[in-house]
Amino acid sequence: MAQPPLPSIRRAAVLGAGVMGAQLAALAANAGLEVDLLDLSPELAAKGLERAVKRGAFFLPEFAARVHMGSLENLDCLAKTDWVIEAIVEEMGAKQALLARLDPWARPGLVFSTNTSGLGIGRMLEGRSELLARHFLGLHFFNPPRQMKLVELIPGPRTDPQVVADMGRFAREVLGKRVVECLDTPNFIANRLGVFALVEMLRRLEEGFGIAEVDAVSGVLLGRPRSATLRLCDLIGLDTLADVAGTARQLLPESACFALPGFVGEMLKRGLVGEKAKAGFYRKGEEGLQVLDLGSFNYVPLAPVGLGELEPALRLPALGDRLRALWASKVRLGMLARSHLQAVLDYAAEYAAQMAPDLEAIDQAMRWGFNWEAGPFELWDLLGLQAEPAPALIRQVRPVGRFYPPGQVYSLREGRHRDQPRREGLLEKGRVLLEAPGAALIEIGEGMGVLVLRGKLNVIDAQTLDLVRRSLDQPLRGLVLWGSGGLFSAGADLKHLAALSTAGDWQGLEVFLCAFQEAVMALRFAPFPVVAALRGLTLGGGCEFGISVGVRVAGAELRMGLVEARVGLLPGAGGCKEVVRRCGRDLAAIFPVLVEGRYSENAHQARQWGFLAGADPVLLDEEGVLGRALADAAALAARYTPPVPASLEVAGEPGLARCRAWLEKEAFSLGPHDRVVGEALARVLCGGGGPPRAAEEQELLDLEREEFHRLCRLPATQARIEHMLKTGKPLKN
Ligand code: NAD
């Protein structure tokens, strides 16, 4: 069924330019919106913006030009805005006073949202007009909002359901967020449960457990990030944490659960609030990491914590196995982790119905907001529902045995299990036409194919190249290139290259290089449109696939680059040729990028380097990339003619001289082998020397192979490849 059009939100006004406001302005600007950013004065707004630029909140610093500074004294900009984001201090009085001033601006089509971390939406709206209340909701973004995927959506008591639906879609499809709907109760879901878990563990420090001990058992073992408990407190900031706990104490009947131990007050007094103060529970000292002594408030060297019989459990890949090992353990720290987790699960079960209309929302909020591997009810399922004494919800669900039996989920609203709608991805519905270990061709209907790269880092090996060529013989109308598992591809199969060069099998190397070039050229001149759907790592040979085809659709956080220099090589499958096709004789900007083997920090930077074309769409919604690429391929298919080979402008000897001058200038920072690789790159990019001239694509492909062979034979390149395979890091030699 066709979706109705998204609400047209082109201009936003962010009120409050503090930590969150300025970053939310950047988020909106990154999505292409024009933004007004207002604070108590335009100077404060400008300061906030400057901080956001420094923090890297914008994809490109130039995007800050989309943000216009102003003062909260003058709200005239609201006349032309589509979305007002309130992000001032977390004080009910201040927020209510501001809303009273917003009331006269309310009109159909203008949405208001608050970024409150947990104050009541309904209370905020007391005394406000029906018109404002119908267009008002909570949209709670997490810090840093560019990276954090979760947005909690909290409808107010009078919010128009259409506004709720529209803003949910807008947050998902335009801002690329994962949206969880919450009920209007203090601290919503993620902060209520997340801060409960942090405070629960903070209090264990008063029972004699050490800071490092608590962190050793409350991270990976429980399916949480390595920041565990106290490192996470340092990241969030103890002051912010104390504020959220304070809201909970004020507004929730179970306020005792959020009482902070005495040492927290002392730490706040001393300014030991965490990373932003460069000192919290931990501190980076000159001799390594130090930990706070809660008796003297001095820092002492961090000593490793032994987990004894629990140690091997940390390495078990499945969370269920780790938890089973934990439940079987009798060691002191094991008991600590168990009783902590049980307290968190009991709390979640006790208060679930207050937090969300839907139990899944709670699990999702913890996975997306706190990066837990599993939410509390998924954890209850993993552990069985046997705990005693058990909260009422557990006793109720026990007869069925789990919250998520196959195909079902327990509904808090209905008080029973209901069917879970099957969310089948585009690919699961398709038909596999061709298969190799590292790739498959899937037909998803109406003649559209998806070539999926898969396996470890989706590396491209000889069998994949063969599958690519065979795919182009299929009777398709269009083809999309796609990588499974959140990335496109880390590049060519380096292990294979290493084996060939160790064995001195230069004939084998030539076969592999030719196959790669042929596959890439076949994609470029395919009889039907080929669209590369790119997200995450798109490196080396993966990048060559991406830049060789006619159209790309990219996820905004794309890491794209021709990084071959890192392993002492150069792009040998049309990458150099494609760079020349884009940059011609003007290599000044791209040459350093290639010699240093850099990859983009985001899709917009990749566009500046020429890897994406001006018309290639960039989506904040990574989950929408494949669908958009398929739609674009289908649209092109109706009137497609393949391109003709390009005539390339190569810079010849003068270009070579310019590249060499750069290598000379940078000699101090480049390693000796960087200069060797740089010289080889320059030769290919400049067409081998001679006068500036026009060259055929094939000439540059031949040059790529020639220089690739030369580099492969050098011990310094072989050392780089070996080091990369062993450590995953480039060798500086
Ligand atoms: P902040 O203190 O950094 O910024 C608040 C801004 O509001 C300041 O620039 C200040 O000048 C302005 N301001 C202060 N008093 C004002 C008033 N009376 N009227 C108008 N403006 C005033 O706060 P923040 O961390 O950016 O938080 C903003 C909102 O976002 C709060 O509701 C907070 O709970 C929420 N939030 C914060 C985080 C976080 O990690 N910091 C995360 C999620 C949500």
What tokens were used for 483? 């990588």
How close is the Cα of 91 to the center of ligand 1, in Å?
Answer: 9
Long-range CB pairs of 547-550, under 8 A, 24+ apart, other chains included: 547/574, 547/575, 547/578, 547/582, 547/611, 548/520, 548/521, 548/523, 548/524, 548/574, 548/578, 549/481, 549/523, 549/524, 550/524, 550/636, 550/643
Cβ atoms of 616 and 545 within 8 Å: the answer is no
Using CA atoms of 615, 620, 625, 628 in order, give the dihedral in degrees to the nearest 10. Answer: -60
How close is the Cα of 89 to the center of ligand 1, in Å?
Answer: 4
Helix (H/G/I), strand (E/B), else coil: 619: strand
How close is the Cα of 115 to the center of ligand 1, in Å?
Answer: 9
Report the nearest-CA residue for atom 9 of ligand 1. 18
Domain at 202-357+373-417, CATH class = mainly alpha
Using CA atoms of 471, 474, 478, 482 in order, give the dihedral in degrees to the nearest 10. Answer: -20
Residue of 278, 277, 303 whose CA lies nearest to 212: 303
The 10s digit of each residue's pLDDT in 558-593 is 999 999 999 999 999 999 999 999 999 999 999 999
The 10s digit of each residue's pLDDT in 478-510 is 999 999 999 999 999 999 999 999 999 999 999
Cβ atoms of 571 and 460 within 8 Å: the answer is no
Alpha-helical regions (H) of 356-447: 359-370, 376-383, 392-397
Same fold, 202-357+373-417 and 426-563+602-643: no
Q: What is the spatial distance between Cα 621 and Cα 361, in angstroms, rounded to a whole number? A: 20
How close is the Cα of 238 to the center of ligand 1, in Å?
Answer: 16
- CA 42 vs CA 48, 54, 76, 419: distances in Å: 10, 18, 14, 52
How close is the Cα of 71 to the center of ligand 1, in Å?
Answer: 15
Cβ atoms of 485 and 642 within 8 Å: the answer is no
Burial class for 267, CB neighbours closer than 10 Å (0-12, 13-18, 19+)? buried
Q: What is the spatial distance between Cα 509 and Cα 705, in angstroms, rounded to a whole number? A: 10
Q: What is the spatial distance between Cα 547 and Cα 532, in angstroms, rounded to a whole number? A: 8
How close is the Cα of 161 to the center of ligand 1, in Å?
Answer: 27
What tokens were used for 238? 């103890």
Residue 3 is predicted with a pLDDT of 62
ω into 144 cis (within 30 of 0): yes
Burial class for 331, CB neighbours closer than 10 Å (0-12, 13-18, 19+)? middle
User: Given pLDDT bands bounded at 50, 70 and 90, which one contains residue 1?
Assistant: very low
Pocket-forming residues, ligand 1, beta carbon under 6 Å: 16-21, 39-40, 44, 48, 72, 87-90, 94, 98, 115-117, 142-143, 240
Report the atom number in ligand 1 closest to the C-alpha of 244. Answer: 34
Check pLDDT > 90 for residue 2. no
Report the nearest-CA residue for atom 15 of ligand 1. 89
Helix (H/G/I), strand (E/B), else coil: 576: helix
Cβ atoms of 700 and 520 within 8 Å: the answer is no
Report the nearest-CA residue for atom 14 of ligand 1. 89
Check pLDDT > 50 for residue 272. yes
Residue 116 is predicted with a pLDDT of 96
The 10s digit of each residue's pLDDT in 146-198 is 999 999 999 999 999 999 999 999 999 999 999 999 999 999 999 999 999 99
In terms of phi and psi (left: phi > 0; alpha: psi -120 to 50; beta: otherwise), the region of 535 is beta
Check pLDDT > 70 for residue 15. yes
Report the nearest-CA residue for atom 40 of ligand 1. 143
How close is the Cα of 16 to the center of ligand 1, in Å?
Answer: 6
Strand partners, 34: 11
Residue ranges of domains in the chain? 11-181, 202-357+373-417, 426-563+602-643, 565-598+645-733
- Within 10 Å of residue 404's Cβ, how many Cβ atoms? 18
Cβ atoms of 82 and 11 within 8 Å: the answer is yes
Residue 7 is predicted with a pLDDT of 74
Q: What is the spatial distance between Cα 372 and Cα 222, in angstroms, rounded to a whole number? A: 8
The pTM (predicted TM-score) of the whole model is: 0.93
Query: Looking at residues 125-135, what average pLDDT do you find?
Result: 98
* Residue of 24, 69, 88, 243 with the most ligand 1 atoms within 8 Å of its CB, for mutation: 88
Report the nearest-CA residue for atom 28 of ligand 1. 87
Q: What is the spatial distance between Cα 562 and Cα 709, in angstroms, rounded to a whole number? A: 17
**What's the CATH fold of domain 11-181?**
Rossmann fold (3.40.50)
Residue of 637, 642, 640 whose CA lies nearest to 448: 637
How close is the Cα of 10 to the center of ligand 1, in Å?
Answer: 24
What tokens were used for 566? 């890192």
Using CA atoms of 159, 160, 161, 166 in order, give the dihedral in degrees to the nearest 10. Answer: -100
Report the atom number in ligand 1 closest to the C-alpha of 88. Answer: 7
How close is the Cα of 202 to the center of ligand 1, in Å?
Answer: 26
Query: Looking at residues 683-701, what average pLDDT do you find?
Result: 97
Q: For 141-156, what is the HEC assignment?
A: ECCCCCCCCEEEEEEC
How close is the Cα of 22 to the center of ligand 1, in Å?
Answer: 10
- Within 10 Å of residue 11's Cβ, how many Cβ atoms? 18
Secondary structure letter of residue 87 according to DSSP: -
Check pLDDT > 70 for residue 5. no
Which string of DSSP letters, residue by residue, matches 470-507?
HHTTS--SEEEEEESTT-SB--B-HHHHHHHHHTT-HH
Radius of gyration of the chain (CA): 28
Strands (E), 310-437: 408-411, 416-419, 431-436
The average confidence (pLDDT) of the chain is 96
Helix (H/G/I), strand (E/B), else coil: 81: coil
Q: For 640-696, what is the HEC assignment?
A: CCCCCCCEEEECHHHHHHHHHHHHHHCCCCCCHHHHHHHHHHHHHHCCCCCCCEEEE
Q: What is the spatial distance between Cα 189 and Cα 235, in angstroms, rounded to a whole number? A: 20
Cβ atoms of 372 and 378 within 8 Å: the answer is no
Cβ atoms of 576 and 527 within 8 Å: the answer is no
Q: What is the spatial distance between Cα 549 and Cα 488, in angstroms, rounded to a whole number? A: 14
How close is the Cα of 622 to the center of ligand 1, in Å?
Answer: 29
Q: What is the spatial distance between Cα 203 and Cα 407, in angstroms, rounded to a whole number? A: 39
How close is the Cα of 84 to the center of ligand 1, in Å?
Answer: 15
Report the nearest-CA residue for atom 1 of ligand 1. 18
User: Given pLDDT bands bounded at 50, 70 and 90, which one contains residue 4?
Assistant: low
Q: Count how many Cα atoms sit within 13 Å of the Cα of residue 166 in the half-sphere of its side chain.
A: 22
Number of helices (H) and strands (E) in the chain: give both, helices first: 28, 24
Report the nearest-CA residue for atom 22 of ligand 1. 88
Q: Count how many Cα atoms sit within 13 Å of the Cα of residue 698 in the half-sphere of its side chain.
A: 4
Q: What is the spatial distance between Cα 200 and Cα 204, in angstroms, rounded to a whole number? A: 7
The single-letter code of the amino acid at 389 is P
φ, ψ of residue 336 in degrees (nearest 5): -60, -50
Report the atom number in ligand 1 closest to the C-alpha of 114. Answer: 32
In the block, residue with structure tokens 């393949």 = 642
Report the atom number in ligand 1 closest to the C-alpha of 117. Answer: 34
Strand partners, 434: 441
Report the nearest-CA residue for atom 29 of ligand 1. 87
According to CATH, the superfamily of the domain at 426-563+602-643 is: 2-enoyl-CoA Hydratase; Chain A, domain 1 (3.90.226.10)
Residue 605 is predicted with a pLDDT of 98
Report the nearest-CA residue for atom 20 of ligand 1. 88
The 10s digit of each residue's pLDDT in 373-389 is 999 999 999 999 988 89
Q: Count how many Cα atoms sit within 13 Å of the Cα of residue 563 in the half-sphere of its side chain.
A: 25
Report the nearest-CA residue for atom 44 of ligand 1. 117
Helix (H/G/I), strand (E/B), else coil: 278: coil
